[in-house]
Amino acid sequence: MGAVYRKEMRSYLVSMIGYVFIAFILLMMSFYFAYLNLNLASPRFEAVLESIRFVFVIFVPILTMRVLAEEKKQRTDQLLLTLPLTVSDIVVGKFLAVATLFAVPMGIVCLYPLILARYGQVNLAVAYMSILSFFLLGCANIAIGLFFSSITENPIIAAVVSFVVLLVCYLMDDLSSMVPNTASASVISFAVLFALLAAVLYNLTRDLWGAVITGAFLITADVCLFIFKRTMFEGLFHRFLNMFYMTGRLENFFNGILDISGVVYFLSIIGVALFMTMQTLNKRRWS
């Protein structure tokens, strides 16, 4: 893992993308910092972070698109996978490298609340908690970008897909409010979702019966639950969709609540995304 990490860091040091990313994040932060905190004389540093949550949608896809797709394109994955390394060494090493790159501007940003504190009362605990949550959100986005980089060997496709997915997650608050809240709408939405899941399952495994049985089981369970516990379904799909509204999880931190469930949420997303990335790499070896 260490060797993969060092190799990745080295490639960021010699290529432009790392520096551009750091500069861009810093530029955005500093711009909003100068405007919101200095110009408007507000002590709330979290307001800056709140305003620039959208940067991930733009910059994470660009940063992560090449990480695994390029290896496959250049056939260097053949080197990595035939060296005495495990798939998790590769994936985790690469993830940590991107996360480190993101940690650089975040580390610099940690100075900003101190600058503010020189001129007035600043709640530093809230400010640093917000920075931490912002960093976790970034890492979760990076893990998702990494996953989409593993499913294709074309970096552009990886970038477009992760852009769309991150954008949908970013807008999920608005999108989910468009879904009707009634129980019947929920049950139908879930049925469609399970059917899609079965289709994906079939696509991955080529096991028609397995996919049909899984899909049928889930849909039956969905309908049975609907019949017996109708009230449970009210607004359920809405809540389900909101699970993907990652940026919304920052609210508690910005309001000064140390939201442990939020931390667990981000760590879980990172874990699931990295696990799926490993599985994608493994699957390619087995198919």
Partner 1 sequence: MIEVKNLVKKYGDHFAVNGLSFSLENGKIYGFLGPNGAGKSTTMNMMTGYIASTSGDVVINGHSILDEPEEAKKCIGYLPEIPPVYPEMTVSEYLTVVADLKRIPKVDRKSVVADAMETVKITEMKDRLIKNLSKGYKQRVGIAQALIGEPDIIILDEPTVGLDPHQIIEIRELVRSLGQKHTVIISSHILTEISEVCDYVLIINHGKLVAADSTENLEEMFAGGNSLELLVDGKKDAIVRTLSSFGEIIKCDIADYDEEQKAYPVQLKVTNDADIRRGLFKAFASADMPIIEMKSRMVSLEEVFLELTRDIDVDKENDTDIDSATPGVESEEA
- DSSP designation for 184: H
Per DSSP, helices labelled H in the chain are: 2-14, 16-32, 46-51, 55-73, 77-82, 87-109, 111-117, 124-150, 155-170, 172-177, 183-205, 208-228, 236-242, 250-254, 260-286
| Closest by Cα among 28, 32, 23, 59 to 170 | 59
Hey, how many other C-beta atoms are within 10 angstroms of the C-beta on 168?
14
Which CB atom, from 92 or from 193, has the smaller least distance to partner 1?
92
Cβ neighbours around 231 below 10 Å, total = 7
**Which of the residues 59 through 78 are near partner 1 (CB under 8 A)?**
74-78
Stretch 187-206 residues interacting with partner 1 (CB under 8 A):
none
Nearer to partner 1, 81 or 188 (CB): 81
**Minimum distance from residue 286 beta carbon to partner 1 (Å):** 5
Which span sits near partner 1 by CB under 8 A: 81-89, 116-124, 196-204, 257-265?
A: 81-89
In this chain, which stretch among 10-18, 36-44, 47-55, 60-68 interacts with partner 1, using CB under 8 A? 10-18
Question: Of residues 29, 36, 80, 144, which one binds partner 1 by CB under 8 A?
Answer: 80
Of 286, 283, 7, 56, the C-alpha closest to 150 is: 283
The verdict on 11 binding partner 1 (CB under 8 A) reads yes
Write the interaction track for partner 1 spanning residues 149-188; mark x where CB under 8 A is met and - where it is not: ----------------------------------------
Tell whether residue 16 is a contact of partner 1 (CB under 8 A): no
Least distance between partner 1 and beta carbon 282 (Å): 8
Four-residue CA torsion sign, 133, 135, 137, 143: negative
- The owner of tokens 């060997």 is 153
* Minimum separation from the CB atom of position 7 to partner 1 (A): 5
Taking the mean position of all CA atoms in its chain, how far away is CA 272? Answer: 10
Q: Smallest distance from the beta carbon of 167 to partner 1, in angstroms?
A: 30
Burial 178-213 (b: 16+ CB within 10 A, else e): eeeeebebbbbbbbeebeeebeebbeeeeeeeebee
Whether 188 contacts 219, CB under 8 Å: no
Query: 228 to 287, contacts with partner 1 by CB under 8 A?
Result: 285-286
How near is the Cβ of 156 to partner 1 at its closest, in Å? 18
Stretch that binds partner 1, among 82-90, 150-158, 170-178, 232-240 (CB under 8 A): 82-90
Q: Cα(77)–Cα(176) distance, rounded to whole angstroms?
A: 39
Nearer to partner 1 by C-beta: 4 or 98? 4
Residues at the contact surface with partner 1, assessed by CB under 8 A: 3-4, 6-7, 10-11, 14-15, 74-86, 285-286
